[in-house]
Structure 1
Amino acid sequence: MEKTIRIQKPTTFDDSITHSEIDAHQPFASSTFQNDNEIYIVVQHQYLCLLPSKSSLHIHGKITKDDCVAAVTVTKLINMAVCHLFEKVRYGLNGVEIDRNRNVGITSTMKKYVSLSPGQEYSLENTGWLSGDKELTDAAENFNVVLPFNYVLGFAEDDRRVIVNAKHELILTRSNTNLNAEIQASATENFKITLNKIEWLLPYIKLADKPKIQLLNYIAKDLAISMSFRFWETYVYPMLLSTTRHTWSVKTSTQLEKPRYVVLGFQIARRNEPLRNASVFNHCRIRDVKLFLNSQCYPYGNMNLDIYNNQYAILYDMYIWFQMTSYNKEAEPFLSKREFMNRAPLIVIDCSKQNETLKTGPVDIRLEFDSSIAFPPHTSAYCMILHHRIVKYNPISRTVKKFV
């Protein structure tokens, strides 16, 4: 109401940034893009203001038969196929790793399923996210995507400030197989995915005189600049026993790394299987899931799911609530209730509210879950933990410290 009656307020314009441009940085000349290779991209322009949170990866490639010439006939790339081509992504400042993503395909797919909203649908295809019957390649089987940094690293989603006077390093590790990036109508076709170009599109910011002087005066004091974000960490239970109940001791964490959210997903015989889509999850007729942080339990009550009888409203409600509590906004779920169950029946557990007993000492993270029937053979479980990470860097002495 106050803004409504403040007629004396003058019109102002934000001219603090005078210029912004995006430069493309290439990997070292010795880098190759084959399976198991590491791809290094280093930005040495330490005297400039860079905005890595708005950066992206530009990737161009082609899928062919294994002779690198003939076009494939029964093979196509799946949703988030580009992420499945990489096993690990690491980002560092001044030689210190501050964020990483292991098992990039699974982690990024799980995170985006719970974070995206329907309003982003038309822009998603350019990132490699496919819905419905859309295809990533053209008639000649070429693909070309721009993958935003916030699709693969947590710091790019949460810390959106410029970074000054620092050396930036990006290390991409290719997966040892391309099987998780595609799906085939039959397993008789040998294929090859060739990456022709990988470049890091990084925004450069130029400031107006007044904010530039203020920034330089602050930097001259060499005070520690803090960066805080949510770190994505995924753990894999590669093959569950064929029983109806499981207990999984995931890890023991420090105080800072204790979970704020845990996302649990299951896949039945999808890993390294050319006939199965590795970006789709299975519900496995799950009946109940409990997360234990030491002795504290989330959720407190039993879920009592019965998926075959359409009793999974609680599961979908937990999925919706993630956006409301994590991003403090009205929920806009990307998947409808039916799509959620068919494509990504993920169990999203909010454990951000914790009592005093969890504020001292290490925290044991344990999952207990049971299903209506025994888990099928070759069922894998994925546990993605979102926890806080704090990094501080000094722009003059160029020291970087991680607080864990």
Structure 2
Amino acid sequence: MVAEILNVTEKAVFDNAIINADKHTHQPYANSTFKNNDTIRIPIENEDVYTLPCGSFLYIEGRLLKKDGTVPTNTTFINNGILYLFDEIRYELGGKVIDRVRNPGMTTTMKGYASYNENESKRLINSGWLPPALGAVKGVALHTRNLIDTNGYFNVCIPLRMILGFGEDFRKIILNIRQELVLVRSSTDNNALFCSATPAEEVDVHLDQICWKIPHVSVADAERLKLLRYVDRNLNMELSFRSWELHEYPLLNQSYSHNWTVKTTSQLEKPRFIIFGFQTDKGNDITKNKSVFDHCDLTNFKVHLGSTMYPYDNLNLDFDLSRFAVLYEMYVNFQQSYYGNVSEPLFDPKEFRTIAPLVIVDCSYQNEIVKSGSIDIRLEIQTKRNIPDKTAAYCLIIHDRVIRYNPSTNLVQEV
């Protein structure tokens, strides 16, 4: 610090490596439709451009109407409801899937509750991110209605970093290879909506436009020569990021104890975090808010990676006695562990209990036994009372993923 303030001869340094980084709009194929179960493919045909996927976003506009063509008075989108309109979103490079998210509404809601703070949530209002207020948990927050105007129209810009782990973690340009963003519409839109009236209004979501806006990066001549040399030398480029993989147990048994073997994974996709949540009787029901989770009187939770158990101690929760401080502390610590930032949780303890009582397990520190060979990911769940009828469990696994691509040969392979 002393040397810096005494360096009176220091000259200004200007970074002119990037000349331009304007966003360009890429449209789906001409014959694309946006109805339920449709697959929407948005290609970047020109392989000679340098693009920056982490700075891109999806632009979606449409209209919410009743069956008779009028604007609904009691129905609106839930928090993050636009992403609930899709069953899958994936990013492809050279025809190979690099990253995908299934059930993107549920996946990004769970990840968002853990990741965002209050300021980030305000920033993402333009993306349809509107967490329910504490006083409106059974419905939706009043400001959610701002997503739809008086004529039923809506439009949002959803950053790729909000949808895919690749978009959040990989912050470099992509060189000389074909890219494609693929969206698969859901079979029903009920999970994206909430109706406060009884009987529920019959409504339709009409999507009028979907496009992908991505920065095209123009570089100075010196930088362009460097990049061309990389291509000429036939070098492999490495993409490393943390992928978000959601698993669902659609109907839990009505008992106190559950063991769920989620999947068997390889050492190349090491699980780093597990985010777990319950929802009771909310599937495909427009009168229930799919963005709100239930605690189901959880008392203890363990993640088994092979023979290693996380967390080491029992949680000893009791929601009847408001004894969930340990669970909230695990939620608060996620941001610091995941991003290396000072934690600024979105919810206070009362809101956490009512809106998003998620279990977040940090298993990023692993011994060599866990890191070698294939391992089973198994969850051990204990509750104070029998799990209610029609309860689903969701397990979001955040794991490492490394991809290599060659901009000269267009070969893409998983490491």
Which TM-score tier does this pair reach, normalised by the shorter chain? over 0.9
Return the alpha-carbon distance in structure 2 between the equivalents of residues 317 and 5 of structure 1: 45
CA shift, 1:4, in A, is 4.5
Question: Could you tell me which residue of structure 1 aligns to residue 52 of structure 2?
Answer: 51
Question: Could you tell me which residue of structure 2 aligns to residue 115 of structure 1?
Answer: 115
SS at match of 2:272: strand
SS at match of 2:161: helix
Assess if the C-alpha contact under 8 Å between 2:200 and 2:287 holds in 1. Answer: no
Return the alpha-carbon distance in structure 2 between the equivalents of residues 304 and 321 of structure 1: 19
The letter of the residue matching 1:55 is S
Return the alpha-carbon distance in structure 2 between the equivalents of residues 297 and 7 of structure 1: 57
Assess if the C-alpha contact under 8 Å between 1:247 and 1:368 holds in 2. Answer: yes
Assess if the C-alpha contact under 8 Å between 1:265 and 1:381 holds in 2. Answer: yes
Pair 1:98 & 2:109 matched:
no
Return the alpha-carbon distance in structure 2 between the equivalents of residues 222 and 336 of structure 1: 52
Return the alpha-carbon distance in structure 2 between the equivalents of residues 211 and 293 of structure 1: 45
Assess if the C-alpha contact under 8 Å between 1:65 and 1:71 holds in 2. Answer: yes
The letter of the residue matching 2:34 is F
Pair 1:310 & 2:322 matched:
yes
Question: Could you tell me which residue of structure 2 aligns to residue 295 of structure 1?
Answer: 307
SS at match of 1:146: strand
Assess if the C-alpha contact under 8 Å between 1:187 and 1:274 holds in 2. Answer: no
CA shift, 1:8, in A, is 4.1
Q: Which moved more, 1:161-170 or 1:333-342?
A: 333-342
Return the alpha-carbon distance in structure 1 between the equivalents of residues 6 and 403 of structure 2: 43
Pair 1:331 & 2:332 matched:
no
Return the alpha-carbon distance in structure 1 between the equivalents of residues 190 and 149 of structure 2: 20
Pair 1:159 & 2:170 matched:
yes
Q: CA 1:214/1:140 → structure 2, altered by over 3 Å: closer, same or farther?
A: same
SS at match of 1:300: coil
**Considering only aligned residues, what root-mean-square deviation do their CA atoms show, in Å?**
1.1
Q: Which moved more, 1:114-123 or 1:323-332?
A: 114-123
Return the alpha-carbon distance in structure 2 between the equivalents of residues 155 and 313 of structure 1: 32
Of 371, 375, 379, which aligns to 1:363? 375
SS at match of 2:184: strand
1:115-151 deviation per Cα after TM superposition (whole angstroms, max 9, x unaligned)? 1112223222100011332121111111100001011
Alignment of 1:272-287 (within 5 A): 272-287=284-299
1:356-400 deviation per Cα after TM superposition (whole angstroms, max 9, x unaligned)? 211221111000011111110000000000001101111111111
Alignment of 1:1-400 (within 5 A): 1=1, 3-67=4-68, 69-131=69-131, 132-134=141-143, 135=145, 136-185=147-196, 186-400=198-412
Provide the TM-score with structure 1 as the length reference.
0.97
1:130-182 deviation per Cα after TM superposition (whole angstroms, max 9, x unaligned)? 13321211111111000010111110100010001011111100000000010
1:255-302 deviation per Cα after TM superposition (whole angstroms, max 9, x unaligned)? 011311000011011111111001111111111100000110000000
SS at match of 1:163: coil
Q: Which moved more, 1:90-99 or 1:184-193?
A: 184-193
Return the alpha-carbon distance in structure 2 between the equivalents of residues 219 and 61 of structure 1: 42
CA shift, 1:74, in A, is 2.0
In structure 2, stretches of 5+ residues that fail to align are 132-140
| Percent pairwise identity | 40
Return the alpha-carbon distance in structure 1 between the equivalents of residues 247 and 201 of structure 2: 32
Return the alpha-carbon distance in structure 2 between the equivalents of residues 125 and 71 of structure 1: 22
Assess if the C-alpha contact under 8 Å between 1:267 and 1:281 holds in 2. Answer: yes
CA shift, 1:324, in A, is 0.5
Return the alpha-carbon distance in structure 1 between the equivalents of residues 112 and 202 of structure 2: 30
In structure 1, stretches of 5+ residues that fail to align are none
Assess if the C-alpha contact under 8 Å between 1:266 and 1:284 holds in 2. Answer: yes
The letter of the residue matching 2:21 is S
Return the alpha-carbon distance in structure 2 between the equivalents of residues 108 and 80 of structure 1: 8
Assess if the C-alpha contact under 8 Å between 1:264 and 1:381 holds in 2. Answer: yes
CA shift, 1:187, in A, is 3.4
The letter of the residue matching 1:115 is S
CA shift, 1:5, in A, is 4.6
Return the alpha-carbon distance in structure 1 between the equivalents of residues 41 and 374 of structure 2: 35
CA shift, 1:7, in A, is 4.1
CA shift, 1:6, in A, is 4.2
SS at match of 2:320: helix
The letter of the residue matching 2:33 is T
